[in-house]
Amino acid sequence: MADAPATAGQMLALARDFLARKQLAEARLDAELLVAHALGLDRLHLFLALDRPVTPAEVARARELLVRRAGREPTAHLTGRREFYGRSFAVSRDVLVPRPESELLVDRARALLVGRVAPRVADVGTGSGCLAITLALELEGARVAAVDVSAAALALARANAQRLGASVDLREGDGPRALADAAPFDVEVSNPPYVRPEEAAALEPEVREHEPALALFLPAGEPDHWLLRLFDEALPLLAPGGALLIELGAGQAPRALELARERGFAARCVRDLAGIERVLELAVPG
Ligand SMILES: C[S@@+](CC[C@H](N)C(=O)[O-])C[C@H]1O[C@@H](n2cnc3c(N)ncnc32)[C@H](O)[C@@H]1O
């Protein structure tokens, strides 16, 4: 922002121009979120306050946020928050920023559990807790257990659960087996790390330089690691008639289906809003 804006509306216009010149894909949305944050407002209230005068301290705060965003720090890290399934989650450098495509896991779990009283649900690799907490709040009477190997992620998930009023059994541990004593489950969801290390260079700088490697990357040379672990360790924890839902990266569906069918599992993939085969669903017989 070269000129000093006098109102929130002027600040927003300057912020949009600045981020658009930096070629950011979502310059408009980022500008709205960052200006709102600098003014201590949410996006809706920003639009209701466009004539509000801004102070020099607010201008300085907005300027700093915009410069950092232009340096490719994720907007969610700058605001400390990200919306997921209509709720605001705290995020930090210790967790993956919740992605809109992961909402499909929630939609599919809800669809599979329609009419089920007090369903039992598991989430493997919970990160911010976005999936486990959303399911606990959306499914009436649900008992939800979730695991992550990262103590720092777990601390954030606990804070999110408390602030959003969700009851989730959050455990620090390595993979699905850490949830064995809470089994059987009617649905298990997992958004495991699914980027191959050799793909790191192709990631956006926001992701590669700011999100935790533990949340992003598969072990080197083991592209099937998480699918096989979930098949081996999570499927045995399902109740009869239960389902395992795994988020996939773009292009991973054919291999995931092949691995599942080789093992004799009933499997299919569900597409996200962008048409990408995003969720692998495995059903166990009832
Ligand atoms: C792709 S992130 C998903 C986070 C969150 N569920 C979401 O959808 O936004 C994967 C998560 O798996 C966790 N993770 C990695 N290895 C793990 C392991 N061996 N056991 C449990 N969690 C693990 C990471 O710490 C990270 O939080």
**Tens-place pLDDT, residues 247-266:** 999 999 999 999 999 999 99
Residues of the chain with pLDDT under 50: none
- 279 with 245: CB under 8 angstroms? yes
Question: Given this model, what pLDDT does residue 2 score?
Answer: 57
Cα torsion angle, 60, 63, 67, 73, sign: positive
With the most atoms of ligand 1 within 8 angstroms of its CB, the residue from 104, 214, 252 to mutate is: 214
CA-nearest residue, atom 7 of ligand 1 = 98
Q: Which single residue is written with the structure tokens 């993939």?
A: 269
Pocket of ligand 1, beta carbon within 6 A: 95-96, 98, 102, 125-128, 130-131, 147-150, 153, 174-175, 191-193, 214-215
CA-nearest residue, atom 27 of ligand 1 = 127
pTM of the model as a whole: 0.96
- Helices 130-138 & 151-164 angle (0-180, nearest 10): 30
Whether the upstream peptide bond of residue 184 has omega within 30° of 0, thus cis, is yes
- 203 with 159: CB under 8 angstroms? no
Ligand 1 centre distance from Cα of residue 204 (Å): 19
- 167 with 160: CB under 8 angstroms? no
Question: Given this model, what pLDDT does residue 159 score?
Answer: 98
Cα-only R_g, the chain? 21
Which atom of ligand 1 is closest in space to residue 175's alpha carbon? 20
Question: Given this model, what pLDDT does residue 275 score?
Answer: 96
With the most atoms of ligand 1 within 8 angstroms of its CB, the residue from 106, 144, 191 to mutate is: 191
Q: Which two tokens stand for residue 89?
A: 């989650």
Which atom of ligand 1 is closest in space to residue 193's alpha carbon? 1
Q: How far apart are CA 117 and CA 193, in angstroms?
A: 31
Ligand 1 centre distance from Cα of residue 79 (Å): 22
Q: How far apart are CA 267 and CA 252, in angstroms?
A: 14
CA-nearest residue, atom 11 of ligand 1 = 125
Question: Given this model, what pLDDT does residue 3 score?
Answer: 72
Ligand 1 centre distance from Cα of residue 53 (Å): 43
Q: Counting beta carbons within 10 angstroms of the beta carbon of residue 86, is it exposed (0 to 12), middle (13 to 18) or buried (19 or more)?
A: exposed
Ligand 1 centre distance from Cα of residue 177 (Å): 14
Question: Given this model, what pLDDT does residue 286 score?
Answer: 86
Q: Counting beta carbons within 10 angstroms of the beta carbon of residue 29, is it exposed (0 to 12), middle (13 to 18) or buried (19 or more)?
A: middle
